[in-house]
Chain A
Amino acid sequence: MISRRKLLATTAAATTLAAMGGTVALAQDGPIRIGMGMAMSGGLAAGGKAALLAYQIWAEEVNARGGLLGRQVELVTYDDQSNPSTVPGIYSKLIDVDGVDIVISGYATVPTAAAMPVIMQKRKLFLSLFALAANDQFNYDRYFQLQPNGPNAKVEFSKGYFELAMALPEKPKTVALVGADAEFSILALEGARENAEMHGLEIVYDQTYPPNTIDFASIVRTIKAAAPDLLYIGSYPPDSAGMIRAVHEAGFKAQMVGGGMIGLQFAGLKTQLGEMLNNVTYYDLYVPEPTMQFPGIDAFLVRYRERAAAAGVDPLGIYIPPFAYAEMQILERAVTEVGSLDDGALADFIRKTTFDTVVGQIAFGERGEWAAPRILTCQFQGIEGSGVEQFGEAGRQVILHPPEYKSGEHRHPFPASA
C-alpha cells in the first residue's frame, strides 16, 4: 500500500519537477517575467487594480519599444484576495515554481510585510508599492519603497499640517486628534501628537474609534464641545467621508480641519463629498498642480484614463497609478543600465542612483525609503458641485507644503463659508 503510494508520489513529483524545469529553462530564453501578488478582490482591490493597470500600460509600452535587454516583458499576477495569508505561498510559487525573474510587491503594507520572509530568503530585489514602514523591522538591503514617506513616516504625514497651522495669523493654541483604531491612522496620530507637542499646542481631545464605525455625529459633537482651534483626523476612506459629513452637519468650526485622511485622494470620495471638501487641508502624494509637472506624467494619465473605465478603476488615477508607473520606470532603467537581471547588482544600482520618473526625482535612502520625504499638504479650493473633471484640473487641490512645491495660498478658517 505504502510502496504504491510512494510510487505515485514519485511519479507526481517527477512530472512536476519536469514541468518546473521546463518553465525555468523557458524563462531564460523567453520573456522577462515580473511576478506579483496583487489585490484584485477584497478590500484593497480598488488600489490593487489601479496599480495593475499602470503596470500593464508600462509593459505594453516597453514591449512596443523592443522590450528589456531585447526580451519582451510579461507580468505574472495572482490575486492575493486582500488576504495576507495567501501572500507567502504566492511569492514562493512565483519564485520557485513559475521561475519569474523579478518580483514586486502587492498593494499596501500588510501584503508587503507578509511577502518579506520569502523574498529575503531568496535574496530577491523587492520594489514595494505603498507600504508604510514595512522594512523598519526587517532592514532588508534589497527593499525599495515607492510612497514618498521618507525614513520617519509618522512625523511626515502631519509635519506640513502643523507648520501651516503655526503660520496662521491668529496662532492656534489647541488641537483635537481623532482617528480610527487601525494601522495607518494610529501611526498618523502618533506623528501628529509629536508635532503638536513640538509646537507647544495643547491637545484638548485625543481619541480613536473602532475601524467599522459608521456614525460620527457623537464624536464630532464631543470634539465641538472641546472647541479646538485645529482638528487633525487620521482616517480610512469610509470614515474620512463620515467625518467630513459629520463636521458639516454639526456646524463644527475651526481654523483648520483635515490631516492624514486616506480616501480624499480617490475620485469616488472627491465626487461624493464635492463642495464639502472646500478648505479641508489633507495629505496627498501627487496632484495636478503646475509645480508638479514632471516629464511624462500627463501622457501617462491620458493613457490611464482612456482605459480606467473599462478596467473598473479610479477614473482620475492620480494617487497610486503614477507611483506604480514610476516603480516600473526605475526597474526599466536599472535593468537596462546594469544589463542583467541579477538581484544584487540591480539593488546596488537602485541604491546609488537618482531616478527621473513621472512623479519627479526619486533617490532611495535609509531602509529603502525615499531619501528625502515628499508628503504634500494640500487644500481643496474652489470645488463646485460634484463633477469629477474639476479634480483633474490645477487649482482645485492646491499644494501648501512643502514650500518648494507650493502652488497657492492657504485659505482659512473652516468651513469655507464661515
Chain B
Amino acid sequence: MSSLSTPYVEDRRGGLPRTLVWLGLAAAIGVVLFTVLGRFNSEYAYLAAYGVLQYVVLATGWNILGGYAGYVNFGAAGFYALGVYGSVFLYKLFPDLPVPVMVLVAAGVGALFGLGMGYLTLRLRGVFFSIGTLALSVILHTVIVNWEFVGGARGAYIIRPEDAPFFSSYAAYLCALMFVLAVIAVAIARTVQHSWLGRGLAAIRDDETAAECSGVASLKLKLAATSLSGAVLAMAGAPFPFFITYVDPATAFSLTVAVNTIAMPVIGGMATWIGPVVGAVLIGSLQQLATVTISSSANLLIVGLLLVVFTSIAPFGIMGLLSRRRTVR
C-alpha cells in the first residue's frame, strides 16, 4: 500500500486546515444557494433544487463503487428505494420521528445491505457483477410489493407537517436537509478518493489481479466501498416520502432514478469526486428546466443524447475533458 500512496501524497496536503477550508466553502455555497432560493419567494425554487441536490447525493454515492472501483452497480434504484421504504417503515412505527433520524437509520440499513450485496456479488466481475446487483434490486422490489406493513403494492401515504421550525416552508426544510446530505456525500467521496481506500480502489479499477498481487486486499476494499456507496444511496431516498407524500413501489424503484444515477457520473467524470457533482448539477438542472419549458419526454432523451455524446467523444466525462485540456496546456 505504501508504494501506491506515493504519487498521491500531494492530495493530502493541508490536513485539518484544508478540511476546514472545504467546510467553509460548503457553508458559503449553502448560504448563497439559500439566499438565491429565498429571493424567489416560491416553493418551486426549493422543490426544483431538492431534485437536483438529490441527484448530487445519488450520483456521488454511486460513484464511490462505480467510479472509483469500476464496479457498475445497476441496483442504485434498489438502494434508493431502501432509503425510501426505510422512512415509510419508521413513519408507520413512529410518525413523529424527525426526518434526519430516518436518514441516519436509512444510511445504516443501506450500509448493511451494501455489505450483504458485496458478500454475495463481489466475487463476480464485470457484467456478471452488474447483473447480480440488478437481480438484488428486483428481489428487493418483490419484497416491498408483498410487504403489507409498508403499503405493499398499494403504496403508502405519508402525512407530513405543514411547516418546519426555522424554515419558511417544509419544502425549504427538505431542500436544506438534502443540501446537508449532498455535502456529507461529497465529503465522504472526497475523503475516500484521497485516502488509502481510494487508491486501493483505483488500483482495482485499473487491474484487479495486478492490485491483488501488489498486496491490495481487494475484497475488503470493495466491501468498504459497497457499504459506503449503499449508505449514501439509501440516505438520498430517506426524505423522499416526505417530499412526495405518497409512495408506491413503481415510484421508489423508478427507472428514471436508475438511469440518472449512472448517467450523471458518466457525463461528469467518474475518476474524481467532482465529476458526479458536475454531472448531477448539469443534467439535474437541465431536466428541471425541460420539465417546465419543453415539457415532454425530452427529459430522458436529453440524458440519452448526452450519454451517447460523452461516451463517444469524452469517455472520461466533463472533468476528464477539462483535465486533458489542462495537461495539454
A and B: interacting chains: yes
Residues of A whose CB lies within 8 Å of any CB of B are 2, 5-6, 9-10, 12-14, 16-17, 20, 40-42, 77-79, 81, 83-90, 92-93, 96-97, 110, 113-114, 116-118, 120-121, 134, 136-138, 180-183, 185-187, 208, 210-211
Chain B residues with CB below 8 A from A118, complex form:
43
Question: Is B276 part of the contact surface with A, judged by Cβ < 8 Å?
Answer: no
Q: Bound complex: CA of A79 vs CA of B291, how far in Å?
A: 7
Most buried by B among A9, A77, A136: A9
Q: Bound complex: CA of A117 vs CA of B242, how far in Å?
A: 10
Chain B residues with CB below 8 A from A208, complex form:
153
Closest to A184 in B: B154
Chain A residues with CB below 8 A from B146, complex form:
181
- Is A84 a contact partner of B246 (Cβ separation < 8 A)? yes
Q: Do most interface residues of chain A lie in helix, strand or loop, or is the interface mixed? A: helix
- Is A181 a contact partner of B145 (Cβ separation < 8 A)? yes
- Is A90 a contact partner of B291 (Cβ separation < 8 A)? yes
Which of A78, A92, A138, A183 lies in contact with B159, CB distance below 8 A? A138
- Is A84 a contact partner of B251 (Cβ separation < 8 A)? yes
A92 in contact with B43 given A83-B256, A110-B155, A113-B246 (CB within 8 Å): yes
Q: Bound complex: CA of A34 vs CA of B246, how far in Å?
A: 24
Say which size band chain B's interface belongs to.
Answer: 35 or more
A116 in contact with B154 given A40-B296, A89-B288, A110-B251 (CB within 8 Å): no
- Is B245 a contact partner of A186 (Cβ separation < 8 A)? no
Question: Is B32 part of the contact surface with A, judged by Cβ < 8 Å?
Answer: yes
- Among the listed stretches B44-52, B226-234, B313-321, which one makes contact with chain A, having 4 or more residues with CB under 8 Å of it? B44-52
* 1/0 contact string of B236-280 vs chain A (CB within 8 Å): 000010011110101100101000000000000000000000000
Question: Is B295 part of the contact surface with A, judged by Cβ < 8 Å?
Answer: yes
Chain B residues with CB below 8 A from A138, complex form:
157, 159
Which of B36, B155, B248, B297 lies in contact with A13, CB distance below 8 A? B36
Most buried by A among B43, B157, B296, B299: B43
> Smallest Cβ distance from A237 to chain B, in angstroms?
15
Q: Bound complex: CA of A182 vs CA of B162, how far in Å?
A: 29
Which of B39, B44, B48 lies in contact with A17, CB distance below 8 A? B39
Question: Is B42 part of the contact surface with A, judged by Cβ < 8 Å?
Answer: yes
Question: Is B152 part of the contact surface with A, judged by Cβ < 8 Å?
Answer: yes
- Is A83 a contact partner of B254 (Cβ separation < 8 A)? yes
A93 in contact with B39 given A83-B256, A137-B157 (CB within 8 Å): no
> Smallest Cβ distance from A75 to chain B, in angstroms?
13
- Is A84 a contact partner of B244 (Cβ separation < 8 A)? yes
Closest to B47 in A: A89
Q: Bound complex: CA of A102 vs CA of B40, how far in Å?
A: 21
Which of B44, B145, B153 lies in contact with A93, CB distance below 8 A? B44
Question: Is B5 part of the contact surface with A, judged by Cβ < 8 Å?
Answer: no
- Is A2 a contact partner of B32 (Cβ separation < 8 A)? yes
> Smallest Cβ distance from B328 to chain A, in angstroms?
28
Which of B155, B170, B251, B291 lies in contact with A81, CB distance below 8 A? B291
- Is B245 a contact partner of A2 (Cβ separation < 8 A)? no
A85 in contact with B28 given A114-B245, A138-B159, A186-B153 (CB within 8 Å): no
Question: Is B35 part of the contact surface with A, judged by Cβ < 8 Å?
Answer: yes
Which residues of B in the span 295-309 have a Cβ within 8 Å of any Cβ on A? 295-297, 299-300
Which residues of B in the span 194-250 have a Cβ within 8 Å of any Cβ on A? 240, 243-246, 248, 250
Question: Is B292 part of the contact surface with A, judged by Cβ < 8 Å?
Answer: yes
Closest to B141 in A: A210
Which of A79, A117, A121 lies in contact with B296, CB distance below 8 A? A79
Chain A residues with CB below 8 A from B281, complex form:
none
Q: A6-B32, A92-B42 are in contact. List 9 more A-B contacts (CB 8 A).
A: A10-B39, A84-B244, A84-B251, A85-B251, A85-B254, A120-B162, A121-B162, A138-B157, A210-B142
Chain A residues with CB below 8 A from B250, complex form:
110, 182, 211
| 14 residue pairs A–B, Cβ–Cβ below 8 Å | A2-B28, A13-B36, A16-B39, A40-B295, A79-B291, A81-B256, A85-B240, A92-B42, A92-B44, A96-B44, A110-B248, A113-B157, A114-B246, A187-B154
Q: Bound complex: CA of A316 vs CA of B154, how far in Å?
A: 30
- Is B154 a contact partner of A210 (Cβ separation < 8 A)? no
Closest to A10 in B: B39
- Is B295 a contact partner of A96 (Cβ separation < 8 A)? no
Question: Is B130 part of the contact surface with A, judged by Cβ < 8 Å?
Answer: no
Question: Is B169 part of the contact surface with A, judged by Cβ < 8 Å?
Answer: yes
Closest to B32 in A: A5
- Is A81 a contact partner of B39 (Cβ separation < 8 A)? no
A13 in contact with B243 given A89-B48, A181-B145 (CB within 8 Å): no
Most buried by A among B41, B154, B248, B254: B154
Chain A residues with CB below 8 A from B155, complex form:
110, 183
- Is A89 a contact partner of B297 (Cβ separation < 8 A)? no
Chain B residues with CB below 8 A from A210, complex form:
142, 145
- Is B35 a contact partner of A86 (Cβ separation < 8 A)? no
Which of A83, A116, A182 lies in contact with B245, CB distance below 8 A? A116
